[in-house]
Structure formats: C-alpha cells, structure tokens
C-alpha cells in the first residue's frame, strides 16, 4: 500500500487518533473530520494534522483530493451515508476501516491482542507497560490514554505489538494474534450483533484467528467455543485457583493490594499494583499471563524483578478508575464503564476499598439500544451504590428510540435515584450529602469531572 497522505473520518476517536499519530510519526500528511473538537483533536492539530468539524466535501483539504496519493480510514461509527465517505468512494479512493489498517500495520509483528466486552483497555495498556519495562521495547495501539506513556500510541524497539482488539462491528476479526487475552464475553453491541449467541460466535472466530503455536489467555468462566486446534489455552482469574491467579491477597491503604502472582511454573511473591481496585489486580494477572506466554513461546526469560517493578509503577489509564480526590472526608473518581458488568465490577471494588462509607454513583447511559437491551441490568448494578444520579442518554451514533430514556433505568434502581441534565450535574452533586462519588459513562460526562472535583474539594475543606 503506497500513499503519502492519510485522511481520517472520525479522527478524534481513541483508536483512530492512535493511527493518526502513528502516520504523523512516519512522516505522512494527515487530515480528517470529526463531529466535535476535543483534547485529542487539539493535540493532533498541534502535532501537524489538519482537522475540521463541519461535515461536507468542500471542507476536505485540496492535497487530500488525489486518490493516487491518499488513503482514507474511517471508523464504523461514521454512518454509511456520510457525505465525505460517499464522495471518497465515488471518486475511487482506497477506503479502509480502522481495523483493516490496524491489521495491515500488525503484519510481521508479534501481536499480543486483548479482547473482551470490558477490561480490555486497562489490560492492553498493562501489556504495553510490562513489555516496555521488562524488554525495554515494544509498540502499542491502545484504546485509552496511558498515564505512563502519556499517549494512546507507543513506539518502541523490537517486534512486539500490544493491541486493543475491539469487538464492535467485528473489528477484531482483522487481527491474527500470537497471544490473545479475552477478558469477558458479555452481551453488548446487540445493535450490531442482534443476539448474545452472535457475540459469542464472534469471539470464537477471534480465537480461531490466533496463529498456530500461539496462546489464548481466557478469563475463568468466560463462555467461548474452543473448537480450533494448534494453540495453548490458559485460564486466569482474580483469586480462583487456575493457571494464573492472585493468592494471599491483602488490602492496603487507599484501595491498593499486595498479592502473590501464581503462574504454571512459579509464584512471584509480594506483587503490588500501582493503581487501586481488585478488578485491576485481575487485569494485571491477565497481562502478566500474556507476558509469560510470549516469553515461553519465544524462548526468552521472564525477568521477575522487572515484572514486579513494572506492576508497581503502572499508573493506569485516563478515565479508568481515575481518582480526582481521595481524602478521608471526600473521594471522587471517574470511570469509563458503560456496561452493567463494568459498573458492577467497579462499584464492588469501590465498596471493598472504602468499607462502611456512603457511595454515590453518577451514570450517563451510552446508546439508546444498549439502554433498551440492558436497562434492568444497569438498574441492578447501580443499586450496589447508596444513591444514584442519572444523566440523559448519550446518543453517540444513534437516533432516539421511542420509549427509551434514562427513566427506564431509574425505575428499577432500588436506592434513591434522580435524573438531572448534564449541565446541572456538578451543582446538583455538590449540594448533596456526599462521601465517595463515582462517575461512569462513555459519552461526554467526563467534561464535568474537573468542575465536579473542584466543588467537592471545596466542600471537603
């Protein structure tokens, strides 16, 4: 594939922006469209990308109108009738999905792919960090902003490539991993798949794409048909005995944990993880398992001291268990969780971290179809808090669905619950009697975080 320019439709997406950064680093000219300006798009502009926020063919820069020199990359979140996408296709441009481009870029690499309906961003970022710290190399395309790297793109020496493998629109079926981690297989993206059985079948297809002689690291209890051959299959869990798990787990101050990492051939004692929460210990077990598989397959030595140090120095991912305030009087953290299982895992972790304290959950539902399909499960998860505040549904790529609103969730929540507009969230929560506050959502609730943190901080003084 020969080209000197890359045009992105949906350039501000977390996965798309990583690709854009990669091509800028490679010396390509980069331009693109996104619906709204964000910190990511501003950073890309500073790095040399040309970005516009009004859709229309007339906004495409002249240098990117040559099909012989330009490849177009789009995210499936962009509708098929988007005028720029339609024009590029009519003019004969090479048009690729993000997942196709990622598949091309991973050719010739030793691919360590992390898939799952939740948990994949933190786990893939952990794999990237463990790679970096234990091998002094490794590259990565991530689905979140790593706090250690300060980016969603990692460029390092060697052929190891950590990738977040996204199940949306079956994108992960473009990859051929050497090591694959599957963190969860829950009903999600049913607007794409239709049924839970179709979701499970897609994950089974992903597993079949693991290269012969490779490894699958599968969450204990995850349901996937393992009908292929030629790969090694390992199970992992938080603390349930299997191939990889944490033993002798003890809770430390601030919600951090000390544990022994149990592997098939050894136990690495006295590990700590640089971020709090039991669910992150489970993610760390999965990432360490992937590193063990890679070292074993390549005849390398897994450096236990470096691994222990890398786990301790892991700083996490933006919007994943991210603390803005953590004092005895007031705690506020934000999380990207947007599936009931994710909310349940995070709220369970928070309850263990802060026993006896009052938890207020703030949640912005993401997508009408997800709310329609899972509103009862969302209500059940939010009932793990002591009080809940809901925002209106964030539509993302969807048009409204009749009868589907945040009230569907609120009706099933068994603790006090209210619905407020996003612009009133900070003021509303600051006026409430709060102790531990957790905000959730994959939409734009994160735009409220700074204001809410400042108000809660003032209240706690």
Cα torsion through 14, 19, 24, 25, rounded to 10: 110
CA distance to 248, 261, 312, 321, 344, per residue, from 256 (Å): 14, 15, 10, 12, 19
Distance CA 382, CA 84 (A): 40
pTM: 0.77
Per-residue pLDDT tens digits of the chain, which is 461 residues long: 578 999 999 999 888 999 999 999 989 999 999 988 888 899 999 999 999 999 999 999 999 999 999 999 998 778 889 999 999 999 999 999 888 888 888 888 999 999 988 888 999 999 999 999 999 889 999 988 899 999 889 999 899 999 988 877 777 888 899 999 999 887 666 667 778 888 889 889 999 999 999 999 999 998 888 887 899 999 999 999 999 999 999 988 878 899 999 999 999 999 999 998 888 999 999 999 999 999 999 998 899 999 999 999 999 988 787 888 888 889 999 988 888 988 998 899 899 888 889 999 999 999 999 999 999 999 999 999 999 999 999 987 788 999 999 999 999 999 999 999 999 999 999 999 999 999 999 888 988 999 999 999 888 77
Q: What is the pLDDT of residue 329?
A: 87
Q: Hey, which residues does 245 pair with through a beta bridge?
A: 262
Q: Where are the domains of the chain?
A: 5-97, 108-313, 322-460
**Strands (DSSP E) found in 369-435:** 387-390, 417-419
Nearest to 13 by CA among 102, 131, 123: 102
Q: What is the pLDDT of residue 1?
A: 59
Distance of alpha carbon 29 from the chain centroid: 27
What the block records as the tokens of 443 is 């939409």
Neighbouring C-beta atoms of residue 51, cutoff 10 Å: 21
First to last CA, the chain: 59
DSSP state of 118: S
Q: What is the pLDDT of residue 387?
A: 97
- Contacts of 64 by beta carbon, 8 Å cutoff, 6+ apart: 5, 7, 29, 31, 70
CATH number of 5-97: 3.40.50.300, 3.40.190.10, 3.30.70.260, 3.40.50.720? 3.40.50.720
DSSP SS3 for 394: strand
Q: What is the pLDDT of residue 69?
A: 95
Architecture of domain 322-460: Alpha-Beta Complex (3.90)
- Contacts of 416 by beta carbon, 8 Å cutoff, 6+ apart: 386, 387, 388
Is the dihedral angle over the CA atoms 442, 444, 445, 450 positive or is it negative?
positive
Could you tell me which CATH class the domain 108-313 is placed in?
alpha beta
149-181: b (≥16 Cβ within 10 Å) or e:
bebbbbebeeebbbbbbbbbbbbbbbbbbbbbb
Q: What is the pLDDT of residue 100?
A: 84
Nearest to 286 by CA among 130, 109, 150: 130
Q: Hey, which residues does 218 pair with through a beta bridge?
A: 182, 235
């Amino acid at each position: 594939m020969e080209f000197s320019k890359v045009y992105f439709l949906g350039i501000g997406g977390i996965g798309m922006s990583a690709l854009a950064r990669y091509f800028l680093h490679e010396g390509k000219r980069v331009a693109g469209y996104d619906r709204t300006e964000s910190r990511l798009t501003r950073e890309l502009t500073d790095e040399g990308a040309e970005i516009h926020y009004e859709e229309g063919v007339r906004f495409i820069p002249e240098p990117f109108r040559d099909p012989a020199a330009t490849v177009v990359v789009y995210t499936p979140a962009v509708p098929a009738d988007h005028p720029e996408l339609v024009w590029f296709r009519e003019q004969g441009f090479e048009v690729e999905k993000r997942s196709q481009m990622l598949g091309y870029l991973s050719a010739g690499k030793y691919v360590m792919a992390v898939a799952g309906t939740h948990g994949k961003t933190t786990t893939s970022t952990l794999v990237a960090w463990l790679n970096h710290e234990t091998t002094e190399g490794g590259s990565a395309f991530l689905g979140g902003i790593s706090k250690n790297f300060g980016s969603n793109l990692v460029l390092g020496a060697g052929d190891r490539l950590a990738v977040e493998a996204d199940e949306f629109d079956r994108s992960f079926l473009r990859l051929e991993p050497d090591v694959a981690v599957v963190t969860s297989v829950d009903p999600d993206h049913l607007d794409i798949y239709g049924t839970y059985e179709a979701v499970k079948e897609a994950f089974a297809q992903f597993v079949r794409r693991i290269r012969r002689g490779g490894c699958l690291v599968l969450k204990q209890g995850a349901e996937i048909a393992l009908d292929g051959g030629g790969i090694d299959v390992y199970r992992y869990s938080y603390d349930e005995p299997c191939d990889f798990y944490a033993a002798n787990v003890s809770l430390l101050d601030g919600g951090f944990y000390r544990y022994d990492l149990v592997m098939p051939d050894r136990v690495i004692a006295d590990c700590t993880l640089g971020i709090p929460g039991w669910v992150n210990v489970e993610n760390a077990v999965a990432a360490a398992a992937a590193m063990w598989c890679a070292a074993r397959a390549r005849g390398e030595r897994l450096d236990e001291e470096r691994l222990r140090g890398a786990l301790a120095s892991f700083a996490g991912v933006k919007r994943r268990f991210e603390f803005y305030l953590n004092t005895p009087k007031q705690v506020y953290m934000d999380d990207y969780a947007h599936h009931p299982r994710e909310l349940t895992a995070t709220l369970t972790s928070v309850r263990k971290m802060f026993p006896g304290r009052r938890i207020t959950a703030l949640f912005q539902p993401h997508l009408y179809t997800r709310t329609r399909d899972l509103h009862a499960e969302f209500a059940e998860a939010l009932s793990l808090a002591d009080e809940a505040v809901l925002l209106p549904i964030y539509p993302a790529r969807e048009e409204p669905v009749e009868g589907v609103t945040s009230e569907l969730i609120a009706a099933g929540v068994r603790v006090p619950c209210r619905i407020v507009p996003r612009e009133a969230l900070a003021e509303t929560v600051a006026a409430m009697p709060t102790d531990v506050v957790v905000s959730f959502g994959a939409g734009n609730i994160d735009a409220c975080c700074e204001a809410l943190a400042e108000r809660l901080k003032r209240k706690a003084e």
